[in-house]
Structure 1
Amino acid sequence: MPPSDQHWLTNLAALVPAGARLALVGGAVRDGLLGVPASASPDLDLALEGVDIQALAAATGLPFTFHPVYGNATVTLSENRTVDLIRTRRERYPVAGGNPVPEPGTLTEDLQRRDFGINSLALLLEPDGTVSLLDVVGGLPDVWARVLRPLHSGSFHEDASRLVRAARVAARLNLAPHPDLMLQVPDALNMAERTPRLWAELRLLLAEPRPGRAARTLESWGAGQLLPAASLPLLNALDTQQDQGASVSFQTYAAALLHAAPHPAELAARLNLGEKPAALLARALSDTPFLEGSPERILRQLLRPDAYMPLTGRDVVALGVPPGKGVGAALAHLAELRATGQVKSAEAERAALREYLGGQPPS
């Protein structure tokens, strides 16, 4: 952890009243134990027992947002990094697949409500700067074995989104599924349509460093049907482009997913993608010229491997069309030939343009 974070956490621990408990939890602890660089886990999650969260957030002197439903607060550090101050709680699921009902609880209960053993470890922070590891669910052996283990047998039944979250984490950190996880995959698939949070997790899958890898993980676990059948080769191909140095955005992955979907508008709504991926897909499938390396060109090369760069106004001027109205007429002629399939390469367009110019003088 960067020294600046250590210093900030020590100062925060000094603000916690006597008898209360403060612990670093979640991904930062997991990743630290796995040797993942701190830069890969820039945000921090802190669980607090016996603390007025809103008052503590105010005492930091930093901007914060209070979330009254759960009694949590998000404190903004420098460079737009955040720290979540989480009131320790227990949860119950009145309806499987629905939102859990939070209730105040102890730090032990808070760790027991989490999804996987590897995510349920905590570092207790004392005012004098000392720390100690708290493992109430046997998560430390899971770290050393690099496995994802659900905390109880009904975990995926009550929250099927945990299956997608597991695939995301497993793909990113190269983790293996515990046998208990594999036994619960059918439960997750049966509950998928009744678990709205699952769609939020699928959206987060598209924001992973390598979404194709996460999708392959789901498929290898027998849950590939959570994504459109034709999407896996596209996501894999975009991963490959990233491995070769290309910059592939979330929107590009989302557009590829929509291209593979039988009902793209419905999928976009479920994943809360907004309008940008569909608009990007439409541009990629058009004949409009785009620069090499742009999202449109990356998608076009993937979805239309036979596509080429049509002639531009500059090209037709270089081939003999004087600047002016004649350029637009020549480009419109070439666009019509493309639309009817009469030209299928830039060279064919040049030949067609020479024939066009021979038939009528440009003006």
Structure 2
Amino acid sequence: MAIAIKGIEKRFADAPVLRGIDLTIADGELVALLGASGSGKTTLLRILAGLEWPQAGSVTVDGRDWLALEAQRRRVGFVFQHYALFQHMSVRDNVAFGLTVRPRASRPPKGEIRARVEALLDLVEIGHLANRFPAQLSGGQRQRVALARALAIEPKVLLLDEPFGALDARIRKDLRRWLRELHDRLGMTTIFVTHDQDEAFELADRVVIMSDGRIEQAGTPDEIYDHPASPFVARFLGGVNELPAELAAGRLVVPGADAGAVTPPAGTDGTATLFVRPHEIDLVADSRAPARIRNMLTSGPSIRYDVDLPGLATPVEVELPREAARLRNLRRGDAVRLRLLRGRVFSAHGAPLPPAAPSPERHRILEAAL
């Protein structure tokens, strides 16, 4: 089902929660609403489910006005973070619940309900647990029951609110992969809320980053990671260094660092900020360089360096693969030159600056660094 959200505004008392949300979701797409607590993502999900109503805006699904429909008429499957299972019911009865409480005129026959429940339990790979009660299940098993119950009503849209938030890291990772495979098999339009960047980027076709009731950026995981639309998005993704820079005559100058491999914006001069991630920096021993290694930390397959650069209050974080770090044989206190391999340039006002076409010379510098 294709969803069109236009101009959605929502306030609780005098506090604005959603400030004009515009978003289109394609039929069969899996979209993640990603943001910190209070960004408005769960409120938007509840509006789609019919559990909240906006003060302004519209929601249409396949051209039909969803705000004119009560929740039960929208045929939405909703999966909550904390499962919301009926503790006194077996797994089988929990999954069947949405079908058994339908009005008699639309309620399937008992045999059909039984067959649908069995098929769903097999689909989510918990058929052997049909007679158990929620208290006898692990967290991951309970979440599968909740998902099967949401699917039992044959929803037009599947909505998931922090579906793996209550689970430990290993189980979350396993269930993420399983849910992506299930989505691909069913082809259902799915929207899920999360504050976990890894979860959003691994699962979603498209990620919508929200902050303070607004959409900061929407795009594929690669688009958002490679081309953050604002300093907020670059910071939200985490693990980024902010380096003061100057743009002059087609050159990007970062004091104390070699920015020759970074393609500068076209036709723009003035003060800027270069956002560069730790793994996008190389270190070269150079006794004449102003930077010094303050600290080193081994982190599995990589080595992280904290590098003091004159003029910066906080050290620059650099991450090298373990083998590359061994070849450089750097130690605490060593003088080093920072070679910036790539980055994203924003103006002093926070506007993203589009890069110029990279020159053959910059290609040569980048290839040599890599």
In our comparison, the structure showing a higher alpha carbon Rg is 1
* TM-score using structure 1 length: 0.29
> Which gives a bigger RCO, structure 1 or 2 (Cα 8 Å, sep 6+)?
2
TM-score with structure 2 setting the length: 0.29
* Greater share of strand: 2
| Structure in which a larger fraction of residues adopt helix | 1
